[in-house]
Amino acid sequence: MPKNVVNPEFLPILEKMPSFDGLSDRSLPEVREIFMTAVRLIEGRPLSDVETQEEYVPGPAGAPDVRVLIYRPRERRPNAPVMVYIHGGGLVSGHPEVDDPKCQVLASKMGFVVVSVDYRLAPEVRYPGAIEDCYAVLKWVHENAQKLGINRDKVVVAGESAGGGLSAALSLMARDRKEYRLAYQLLIYPMLDDRTATKVDPAPDFGEYVWTRSANKFAWEAYLGAAAGGADTPAYAAAARAKDLSGLPPTFIGVGSMDLFLCEDLDYARRLMASGVPTEVFVVPGAYHVFDMFVPDAELSRRFMDAYCAGLKRTLGL
């Protein structure tokens, strides 16, 4: 896809952004470091009205504790909404610090207590390690609601890219296990379907920048421990595999028009609507994957965040 299709606000940073193309077991350590170096380019100053603390919460049975970062307004509010936030990185890279700026803004702007999950990465830990880590954090949030000062009726799951996919899977898991009720799922260009670029090929121009077909295939196979697009991928690994989407919480799905995940995200949104789930969709024109992370001050990035914040406020009555 020619660069003149990219929104002009997103062009300058494109040359500095990492490409995950050719991702492999051999290149993964280097790619993890390159990704973090690129993230440091956009780190902002900590917000003075938000405090951050690190904590370790009990992990799944037989697994290590899960590290979380907790962001909260310094001015405590009783019965605050809480967001379990799940970082991106293709299931094979990243950690909560990637989303420091976004989590601080959500805590400050929305009054959320944000609990960001440092789940275990593939291929060192394959499915279901990451999703069970996320569920363990959801459990801890509910069991410690009084200590956290949060409202159990206003629990949101959110994440971008792989974290959006894990958020969608976590919503399915919470619905099916019937232990905890979610108020909202915020899916930011979520990675939902292991069949993309294997069994299902989007238009050739999608996914040219940042997160590519080859990277997607490697990441899914690293997580699943099997060929991507196989017949037996469980829905808690790839939420698009779920046959029944009824009973899920109100949903926001946002994605760029040039993102590899555009087609799978729009199809998931369509299926949610068909299942009676209140669903809002926001497609950002001329935007590649993780556009808002690297150009957060662009007008379209701000409009994007404003849109999902408005959805959260409307649904949670904030």
- Which residue, among 71, 70, 121, has the nearest Cα to 94 in the 3D structure? 121
CA distance 179 to 139: 8
CA 86 to chain CA mean position, Å: 5
Contact of 258 with 205, CB cutoff 8 Å: yes
- Which residues 6+ apart lie within 8 Å of 249 measured at CB? 171, 181, 182, 183, 184, 185, 277
Residue among 93, 108, 161, 301 flagged as catalytic: 161
Query: Among this protein's residues, is 24 annotated catalytic?
Result: no
Q: For 107, what's the count of Cα atoms within 13 Å in the CB-facing half-sphere? A: 29
CA distance 24 to 1: 24
Contact of 174 with 180, CB cutoff 8 Å: yes
The backbone torsions φ and ψ at residue 308, rounded to the nearest 5 degrees and listed phi first, read -75, -30
Burial of 216 (0-12, 13-18, 19+ CB in 10 A): buried
Query: Among this protein's residues, is 171 annotated catalytic?
Result: no
Element (H, E) at 101: helix 100-110
CA distance 216 to 176: 28
Residue among 118, 133, 193, 259 flagged as catalytic: 259
Query: Among this protein's residues, is 161 annotated catalytic?
Result: yes
Q: Percent helix, strand and coil across the chain, each rounded to 5?
A: 40, 20, 40
Sign, Cα dihedral of 68, 71, 75, 80: negative
Residue among 93, 100, 171, 289 flagged as catalytic: 289
CA distance 277 to 244: 11
What residues are annotated to the active site? 161, 259, 289
